[in-house]
C-alpha cells in the first residue's frame, strides 16, 4: 500500500531470519552427496559401502582409416552409499594405445600410455574413468611430454547390455596442453565411438564384500 513502511524492529527480525535460513541450507547441502537431497539419501543409504568395477579391452572405431585405438581397463571404486556420485576410494589401471599408419613418406607411429586410476564413477550401463599417466611407450614419443607433466586423461564407457541395446561405446578426453589446467577427476566426454572388437564387464554399485 502507498506509504506502508516496516518498522526498524521488523526489518531487523526479517533479516536475521533470512540469515539463519540460508546458513541452515548451506550446512545441510554440505553434508549431502552431489545432486541429491541430504535427508532422502541418508535415509535410503545402506549401512555398508558399495563397490563398482570395470574390466576389459576394446578397439574403438575411428574416422581415419588405418588408425588403431585400443583401451584396456581394470578399475575399481567404493562409494559411501546410494546417491553418492563420486567414490571415496578408487584404484586400478588403464592403458590407451594408438597406432597411426604410415603415410606421406612417414613411418608407422605408435604411442601408448599407462594410467593409474584416480576415479571410477558408474550408473547403469555407463561409467567414467580418469587417471594420471605413469608410463609411456611406442616409437613416436608423442606422449613423453604428457608423462613429464603427469597428465590426467579420462575415458567414458557405455557397456551394451543384451539385444537391442546397440554397440558398446568409448569416449576419450585426450591430453591437455601445457598452458591448460589438468582435466578434473571423474570427467570425460560422451562415449561416442563404437567398440568394434572386444568388450567390457561393468559392475555398478553392489554391496561391498
According to the model, what pLDDT value does residue 23 have? Answer: 37
CB 72 within 8 A of CB 55: no
User: Is the pLDDT confidence value at 85 over 60?
Assistant: yes
According to the model, what pLDDT value does residue 141 have? Answer: 82
Query: Is the domain of 83 the same as that of 103?
Result: yes
CB 74 within 8 A of CB 94: yes
According to the model, what pLDDT value does residue 135 have? Answer: 96
Distance CA 32, CA 44 (A): 13
What's the length of the chain?
Answer: 209
- Give Cα 182 to chain centroid, integer Å: 14
pTM higher than 0.85 for the full model?
A: no
Query: Is the domain of 76 the same as that of 98?
Result: yes
Query: Is the domain of 29 the same as that of 96?
Result: no
Residue 161's pLDDT band, with cuts at 50, 70 and 90, is confident
Instruction: Render pLDDT for 86-122 as a digit per residue (tens, 0 to 9).
Output: 999 999 999 999 999 998 888 899 999 999 999 999 9
Is the model more confident about 6 or about 183? 183
Query: Is the domain of 31 the same as that of 130?
Result: no
Phi and psi at 29, nearest 5°, equal -65, -35
What are the angstrom distances between the C-alpha of 17 and each of 12, 27, 30, 39, 73? 9, 16, 20, 22, 52
Whether 2 maps to a domain, the answer reads no
User: Is the pLDDT confidence value at 1 over 70?
Assistant: no
Query: Is the domain of 37 the same as that of 117?
Result: no
Instruction: Name the residue among 126, 130, 190 with its Cα closest to residue 160.
Output: 126
Distance CA 129, CA 87 (A): 11
Is the model more confident about 126 or about 30? 126
Instruction: Render pLDDT for 15-42 as a digit per residue (tens, 0 to 9).
Output: 343 333 333 333 333 333 433 332 223 3
Kind and range of the H or E element at 15?
helix 8-30
Q: What is the mean pLDDT of the chain?
A: 81
According to the model, what pLDDT value does residue 36 have? Answer: 36
Distance CA 178, CA 149 (A): 8
Query: Is the domain of 184 the same as that of 118?
Result: yes
Total domains, the chain: 2
Amino acid at each position: 500500500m502507498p506509504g506502508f513502511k516496516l518498522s526498524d524492529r521488523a526489518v531487523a527480525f526479517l533479516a536475521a531470519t533470512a540469515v539463519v535460513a540460508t546458513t541452515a541450507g548451506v550446512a545441510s547441502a554440505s553434508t549431502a552427496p552431489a545432486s541429491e537431497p541430504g535427508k532422502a539419501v541418508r535415509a535410503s543409504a545402506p549401512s555398508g559401502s558399495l563397490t563398482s568395477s570395470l574390466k576389459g579391452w576394446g578397439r574403438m572405431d575411428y574416422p581415419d582409416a588405418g588408425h588403431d585405438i585400443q583401451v584396456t581397463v581394470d578399475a575399481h571404486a567404493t562409494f559411501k552409499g546410494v546417491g553418492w556420485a563420486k567414490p571415496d576410494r578408487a584404484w586400478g589401471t588403464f592403458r590407451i594405445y594408438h597406432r597411426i599408419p604410415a603415410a606421406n613418406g612417414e613411418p608407422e607411429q605408435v604411442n601408448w600410455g599407462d594410467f593409474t586410476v584416480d576415479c571410477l564413477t558408474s550408473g547403469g550401463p555407463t561409467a567414467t574413468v580418469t587417471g594420471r599417466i605413469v608410463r609411456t611407450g611406442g616409437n613416436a614419443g608423442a606422449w613423453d611430454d604428457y608423462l613429464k607433466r603427469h597428465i590426467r586423461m579420462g575415458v567414458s564407457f557405455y557397456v551394451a547390455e543384451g539385444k537391442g541395446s546397440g554397440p558398446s561405446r568409448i569416449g576419450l578426453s585426450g591430453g591437455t596442453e601445457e598452458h591448460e589446467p589438468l582435466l578434473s577427476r571423474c570427467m570425460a566426454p560422451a562415449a561416442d565411438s563404437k567398440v568394434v572388437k572386444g568388450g567390457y564387464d561393468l559392475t555398478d554399485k553392489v554391496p561391498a564384500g
